[in-house]
Structure 1
């Protein structure tokens, strides 16, 4: 920092500053801004030449954005700042960058507009959910230009721009105010048609293992005349830290600047007068440096006041900026009150597209498991309607009106379950449902009984206001996430309430659940009580013991570990220590379930669902008078969360810690060369690998293959048929780095925390569901090391275009925002299953998780005294044409999503809100779409009036109530609009 500060304080002319990494780039950016220059920062681009760049799309977008800003900034006081790895590749020249403006009342030639955006690297999609995407739907154009946090919605009248409004890319709703204009910059490069075609042709000829060859995945490597080595054409300086990095960075590859060129670049001189400072007491420090100019930087005036500084003090120059600079030299002091801001994470898109694919299994509430075959228009009594087609055993076909789409759900069971299609109209599914319902009432009853009995007991009051607990949180070495802070607050409130705590914390692996638990344990032990921490496996117990011991080191806590590996002598010593009170806290496995203690106040259970029935009974015995805190790595569905939260405390961690890096994801076609390269690359950086091969029968052959491809590496196998004790030994050996590759089935999907294994190969990735792929990817990248995930397919010509879409989606990490959102949905459903326990998996398999959880929620609500009526349906047989037309919305996925949301609507306000959104996104609905929205209103009114059937013939409309009474009315004509108007008028009465 001090060298860069000194250099720019002397107003040196520098157009390009080369630094060692993105951290130093941020420091340089702050200093450059402080001295009145305009900084443009390139991302730290750590790809290898010819890599498939889809998984580097974020960095490439940032580079494009920065270069575009730099070249289009017309003043002279600009500086381009680049990490050395980035600038060692040729960068696009200034002629590759341009912008154009879209203004109200302009004429827009759609064909030319499409062509330009295509050549500029924009993706054409159904729904715009991130930067560089565009969607054109008739006279509505949505676009999110590179660098923009919001989308822009253009409404056309013929070819004239009638209105421009911003919209939220999370929920697709546009803002009310119209704007005059906005600017569009290239998403890749501003290429004309001919240049684009030439570049594309070159990319197609390249030999590469990229899954899809296009300019997005490979174009950057083949810029030729469009690119140049920037250090050769600009007034460039380099920091000595970047020169140090040269040794490591420079593997001599083609298309990189030769190392000598950087060695000849002028270096920023070492500063003799400037020092970096870390100020504890600001006022005292200023007192030591009388006579120097004092500059204090803060992001807000409020922050200045919080440091007890006087804003009216004229001897201090206050600068309201976000910079972080702390230096002193002969003339001045610069002190920043700001803390480092972590990178903003991508928000999860709130709109989940229904990813029902033809051939997927679905569960109908009445008829059971069938196969979804798409949506088809069917003409009944001269009127056209859309129906969902579901196939059952014996090729029986169920036609489900789209307004009743809420009666079916995607079939999700355990990862290895395969659905068995039911027979239509047999009544056997109803019997099965009743059997499951009875079982669920018993489960719900148990849950409520335990909750009620614990409610009557006085809990141990723990003092959670001690200053030492604050110190513990500050000693973590990282900032807690918002969710962690909230969860700790909720637990502390429980512990100090005088009631018995029963709280479940759910959060993905690595999201900091153990840190939250440590706060509860520390509060309990410091208050003179004991705590125990129960884990399902020895491995997990050992992992927790190591990490918690480190954190508790300076707090004077006596802790021990009790598991299958403990000797008899150790076990006896620990058991005695617990009874006498000498041991405050113990971590262990099942052997802890029946220990005697002196003053136990807290039991922490990790992955509670992994404990068997008998063990759970023992836990229930502990539950009478101690605080219970359970943790689970699967998210809990929102609705079940609500149902259970009346009986149990629920907390969740939804945001990852700031230190977690993303996982680089690649989709590749299988080859020996590829497998060898992946394994050796990970070995070179001292890491280990997971290799997922989901077939026990051929796993030994796969081991032989791997050892033939890379002869000098050690491979061990793990799968569900290996005895638990043996499996534990293998995992232990893997953690101790005794072998390189853990070859496993998808058994490794959850629970393991092995920070040294940072590459995963998933063989036959096209045969996994999106949630499984997402979970498996979560096995790596769990320390501060970057993780690599390779989805490998046998032959890309043999897999469906949908599977390709899904895999490429996961590779570039955004498939219209719905890939990960859908994975979360699946995981949430499984998380709900976990609460109930493994014993129920048979029932879940028969009716699917979705319906199972729905029924559990109903059982809990009924037993809690909230009477939840079973879903009633209305059979609507009106001779009207009502459907979301293809002309209005052409994408089937989007239509299906709207059908799903409308079918689940329970109030007219919900329908009007969706209608408003449709008008905003797609323009004014046409007649048949408008009539479908009115049909949904008819359904909602009929349900509230206890009507089960509505039908029409000619001008007669008949209503049948639940008690089978009938009433008929006449409409003024047979026209659709008159039949709808008469029906609504009757129902609104």
Structure 2
């Protein structure tokens, strides 16, 4: 067997090969007290009797999934792509000449430039895709396309993907010059593109000039920092671990994100940034025995693979030699500077270098770490085709970026943040010119380029744009007839198959012959007009010379990126937001916990206790007065993490073990939950009794309204709309909660419900918590319903009293169909003509009095409540059957994760962040959450950034001021808006893509997540800066919040963030002020458990609990630390094992343990089988199973003699039934027989016989 590991695939001769072979308690004196649950409590100065509970164990089923799936090596993509749209450009005479010229120049030492003019946007996209594909098929080399901006790059990539051309965007990355933490998504994107460039396995790389010249990792280092592993190859685990650490990976207990790895015995989990999912590697000694993808939520394996390539986890790696050089440079610099602040900064950097902490300032020293000063261009080899799109715009972009960078560097150098010697972060623009001259360069400009080209290298196309028709049937028919008359071949581009068929039917009605075909099919010879379903990213165009026209049925070209991206990624598995809830793997030593019986204690870890030669593991809890309680691992389901209020010193009052306080608190909370349950049930029953309005099924206008939506709906939106319509068409009033994370499209779902109500002659009211949000919704609805006969108005303090009176009168007369308003909408003087639907946005933000008015208003109308505050799973369970719920779990396809920074407040850094956003034409939200000083902050920023138009807003301003400021912001007349938290809820300004938050340490985690959701609402990359005061020591909770908001930057992380925030700040006023104290007294989880039980009782569905069977068998039964090293993960495994109820559960957990940690040791197998015995014996009605006198004694609650007689017959006298006042059954243990497996088998047969007897009785 080959003992080495290939770092590359051997298919492409350009790939670089690298071979890697094998390398190198404090003693507690007290008496023990054991209760009937098997818990051991230790109390000082107590002398109770010791009585230990023995452990139990389960049986093993065969585990090992056999897979025949093999992944073939990746091959160079050389075939020519065919598509009806890009084939049209190939038929142009100019294209043939252009392609021939490109091939001709690729064969000479000094290629001459090629000039292309006359292409409109859609034709240019088709040409670039076709040219890159054909050039690669002919030469084996792809294309580099340089565009003026990120929007064009994203649109071109999207179109290429739909045409089957593999394209990647190499983005510009803002380097970090300060010691701050940052999310790494952009690094992963860039590394992926660099890797593709190195291997030459991409048809087209798209970039901007500033990104192309940014310094990055040298190609040789990238090659040596990639590692290809395959099943069957050999590598020492320590060698693999060393490689991962050197490649920038972080070692963790459980892998949850890219750039992480964990090691558990023979199993190594790795999440390579270049992989869609993490992988699990199973070793057998030095050999890789198996590799599979696994899911980060369930931690279970999902798909087998035969090989994987590990790519670096950081763009800037710091090898040991570079670290020595870097330390030397910083030390020398610290001795030269005179400014104390700068010296302290440098000393802090030295301290970070000497520790294991994340090095947040590595970008700053890239020229020291990578003295080679390489950029993307160093990865591109001749004769690559280099296409420069709109040369003047590209050069203007580069000039503007260089001016901005120079200005920023001058500021950083003068402030001592950057040493002038190291202030070199990008290659000079001359490097780009010389690179282009060495490649096959094609300058693609709309108009005649200024660049001279030989006559045989100048190609001029005659094209023009066509309009986006949307629902404009008349205009489409007019143009189709025009192209028919002039004998054009016409392709109509449709958004969906339904649109394709509807358009074809419309053409047939007009007696226009048309064919419905696939996009990759050739143009039929007998048809002039065809309809295809295709990418929105290609605007319509006309090729005049070859008489071809592409007509787009999309609403507009603006929405194309979002629609097409969503379409392309639809097959990718999206993890459910509800799956992202924290498990008990987050329980750590020192956490406060709640025991069902004993109350609030503190978890002190797991301990092994051995008695009479039998070892078990117990959870150790400490209570008031230092009393200790040991909980058997099969009782861990009685523990939950405490979530509630804490004291000023971040402590919680512990319960007294054996005291009465806990019982009283629990009884008081239970009484409160019963009252709440009665109220909830009564409200639910009352709504069911009330007569509601049954809305009719959708009509044509409803379908037309929904088809006018410019984006592609997510699956969650479609499901939610279906649920809501079903409710509305029922005669019972609807009461549905629509829950979705920030930016998941709740508004569109609500507007479809509102339109349905209006279509049936009813009125719809939309109630929002803030004035700004009311205006936001009002503008959104006006835009969305333009062209439909719907009258919309708004009621808020932005309107004058006279305007409000006019609106109220129109509302009473039924002249207003949809009214948007704040709490003003539930005032006494508001009367509706015929209200049919009430939509409440963020109900939890309304006060108790306002909620009471809401109840009166909702009466027998349908109610839809929207919330972006995720509902934790336990509350979801408690409310089941009380309130219907729909959950949106997918983000729109084009939204990029927000690049998140956590840093000390630094005016220089933040001013630079503002300038960067202004340079790209964007706007900035700046959160300053103090009304008293907001004007002062605004004045200071105006002095710091005089070129910016800065204004401020807060909730205490009068309506005219806020209205004017908000209108100016929407119109783009304000560059930076400094505001209080009034921007937190629902504000949607797509051009605002930078957020700066002062004193982020004072805000809750959900607040930070909501605020971050205000930006990144377009396809442009957004940046969030969460700051805390310089030099201050922030609390542990604030530190955890900031760490979480940085780590959970992906869309859909709101559920995880909500639970983390709930844990950090307590449950607060989640269920109303009257319940607040009860939650704090018993903890959130216990309160929800009590509430769920109270609801079931009130509904007459009391939880039926089977009497548990006590199992005492003399076997070591626990999870050894050598098997599962993480104490938190052992706790999680114990809780799952304790929940085994049937053989299928046992098999599933056994498979999971084997999957995650390898073959379970004998102690773990015993634990599993004893848990299964306990479950099966309980189901059989047994009270005890214990080991006595060399046998196993089974004590039934009720002796079912016929079943035991049959079992005795089956097992040939091994079972003896003893009658008397307390009958029991003895199983004779014999050598060579696995007792635990035999007991599992006996109880399984008992259940089988009992079921067969019941069926036979039923037949008789």
TM class by shorter-chain length? 0.7 to 0.9
Root-mean-square deviation over aligned CA pairs: 5.0
Q: Which residue of 1 aligns with 2:633?
A: 402
**Cα deviations by residue, 1:708-753 (Å, 9 ceiling, x for unpaired):** 79866999898xxxxx867999987985779967686xx7796363
Out of 211, 218, 221, the position equivalent to 1:96 is: 221
Match of 1:689 among 926, 931, 941: 926
2:428 to 244, 258, 262: 258
Secondary structure, aligned partner of 1:341: helix
Give 1:556's aligned residue: 789
Give the match for residue 412 of structure 1.
Answer: 643
Relative to structure 2, which stretch is displaced further, 556-565 or 65-74?
556-565
1:135-146 to structure 2, matched below 5 A, reads 135-146=262-273
Q: Which residue of 1 aligns with 2:394?
A: 242
The answer (yes or no) to whether the contact 1:764–1:794 under 8 Å persists in 2 is: no
1:936 has 2:1061 as partner:
no
Q: Residues 327 and 120 from structure 1, CA distance in 2 versus in 1: closer, same or farther, beyond 3 angstroms?
A: farther
SS state at 1:555 partner? coil
- The superposition leaves residues 630-654 of structure 1 with CA deviations (integer Å, 9 ceiling, x where unpaired) of 2222223446545545343321222
1:305-324 mapped onto 2 (5 Å cutoff): 308-310=515-517, 314-315=524-525
CA distance in 2, matches of 1:216, 1:531: 55
The 3 A distance-change label for structure 1 pair 669 and 533 is closer
Shift of 1:914: 1.4
Residue pairs, 1:761-772, within 5 angstroms: 761=997, 763=999, 765=1001
- Residue in structure 2 matching 1:753, options 978, 987, 996: 987
Name 2:1059's counterpart in structure 1: 825
How many angstroms apart in 2 are the aligned matches of 1:752 and 1:298? 32
- Superposed, 1:762-801 pairs within 5 Å as 763=999, 765=1001, 774-775=1009-1010, 777-778=1012-1013, 780-782=1015-1017, 786-792=1021-1027
Q: Is 622-631 or 557-566 further displaced after alignment?
A: 557-566
SS in 2 for 1:925: coil
SS in 2 for 1:790: strand
What TM-score does the superposition give when structure 1 sets the normalisation length? 0.83
Alignment-derived partner of residue 11 in structure 2: none
Q: Which whole-Å CA distance do the structure 2 matches of 1:813 and 1:358 have between them?
A: 24
**Larger deviation, residues 623-632 vs 213-222:** 213-222
Distance 1:70 1:560, change over 3 A: closer
- Structure 2 length normalisation: TM-score? 0.66
Deviations for 1:878-918, whole angstroms, at most 9, x for unmatched residues? 55422211111222232232223333444342232011111
Whole-Å separation in 2 of the counterparts to 1:866 and 1:389: 35
Task: State the match for 1:903 in structure 2.
Answer: 1138
Q: State the partner residue of 2:60.
A: none
Q: Distance in 1 between matches of 2:655 and 2:596?
A: 12
Q: Quick check: 381-390 or 805-814, which moved more?
A: 805-814
Which residue among 484, 500, 513 is the counterpart of 2:717?
Answer: 484
Q: How do residues 496-645 of structure 1 correspond to structure 2 at under 5 angstroms?
A: 496-563=729-796, 567-593=800-826, 594=828, 595-638=830-873, 640-641=875-876, 644-645=879-880
Q: Does 1:393 align with 2:615?
A: no
Query: Paired residue for 2:1095?
Result: 860
Counterpart of 1:424? 657
Q: Which has the higher contact order (CA 8 A, sep 6+)?
A: 2
SS of aligned partner of 1:605: strand
Alpha-carbon distance in structure 2 between the residues aligned to 1:60 and 1:204? 25
Work out the CA distance in 2 between the residues paired with 1:969 and 1:52: 70
The 1:883–1:15 alpha-carbon spacing in structure 2 relative to 1, beyond 3 Å, is same
What displacement does 1:27 show?
5.3
1:268 matched residue in structure 2: 443
Secondary structure at the residue paired with 1:554? coil
CA distance in 1, matches of 2:757, 2:1046: 45
- How many Å separate the matches in 2 of 1:705 and 1:298? 51
Paired with 1:870 and 1:424, the residues of 2 have a C-alpha distance of 26
Q: Are the aligned partners of 2:158 and 2:565 in contact in 1 as well (CA < 8 Å)?
A: no
Q: CA deviation at 1:924?
A: 0.7
Distance in 1 (alpha carbons) for counterparts of 2:214 and 2:1232:
65
**Structure 1 residue 786 displacement after superposition:** 4.8
CA distance in 1, matches of 2:398, 2:769: 47
The offset of 1:362, in angstroms, is 2.0
Specify the structure having the higher radius of gyration (Cα). Answer: 2
Alpha-carbon deviations, 1:257-309, whole Å to 9, x = none? 334555775661435314254476697687467487x8999999999889642
TM-aligned CA distance change 1:429 to 1:222, over 3 Å? same
Structure 2 gaps, min length 5: 1-120, 334-345, 407-423, 447-459, 470-475, 505-514, 553-559, 1199-1220, 1247-1260
Shift of 1:510: 3.3
Q: Tell me which of 193, 204, 212 is aligned to 1:87.
A: 212
| 1:847 counterpart (1060, 1082, 1091) | 1082
Structure 1 pair 285–885 and aligned structure 2 pair: CA distance change class (3 A): farther
Closer, same or farther: CA 976–258 of 1 in aligned 2, 3 Å: farther
Q: What is the deviation of 1:788?
A: 3.3
Relative distance call for 1:319 and 1:864 in structure 2 (3 A) is closer
Greater shift in the superposed pair: 642-651 or 978-987: 978-987
Match for 1:456 among 689, 705, 710?
689
Match of 1:126 among 253, 267, 277: 253
- Change beyond 3 A, Cα 1:33–1:550: closer
In 2, the alpha carbon distance for the partners of 1:370 and 1:546 equals: 53
Alpha-carbon spacing, 1:54–1:906, altered in 2? closer, same or farther (3 Å): farther
CA contact (8 A) 2:763 2:836 kept: yes
Equivalents in 2 of 1:757, 1:147: separation in Å?
A: 27
CA contact (8 A) 1:40 1:67 kept: no
Aligned CA distance change for structure 1 residues 403 and 715 (closer, same or farther; 3 Å): farther
Cα drift, residue 925 of structure 1: 0.5
Structure 2 residue aligned with 1:341, among 538, 559, 565?
565
Answer whether contact 1:54 1:217 (CA < 8 A) is retained.
Answer: no
SS at match of 2:516: coil
Supply the distance in 2 between the matched residues of 1:768 and 1:493 (Cα, whole angstroms).
40
Q: State whether residues 46 and 85 of structure 1, in contact with CA within 8 Å, keep that contact through their aligned partners in structure 2.
A: no
Deviation at 1:26, TM superposition (A): 4.9
Number of aligned residues: 970
C-alpha distance 118-565 of structure 1, shift in aligned 2 (>3 A): closer
> Contact between 2:636 and 2:1134, CA under 8 Å: does it hold in 1?
yes
Per-residue deviation, 1:504: 1.7
Q: Distance in 1 between matches of 2:675 and 2:162?
A: 68
Alignment check: 8 A CA contact 1:199 1:219 kept:
no
Residue aligned with 1:931, SS: helix
How far apart are the structure 2 equivalents of 1:758 and 1:503? Answer: 34
Checking the alignment, whether the CA contact within 8 Å between 2:668 and 2:1078 is kept in structure 1 is no
> What is aligned with 1:696?
none
Deviation track 1:910-938 (CA, whole Å, cap 9, x = no partner) reads 23201111112221111111122223224
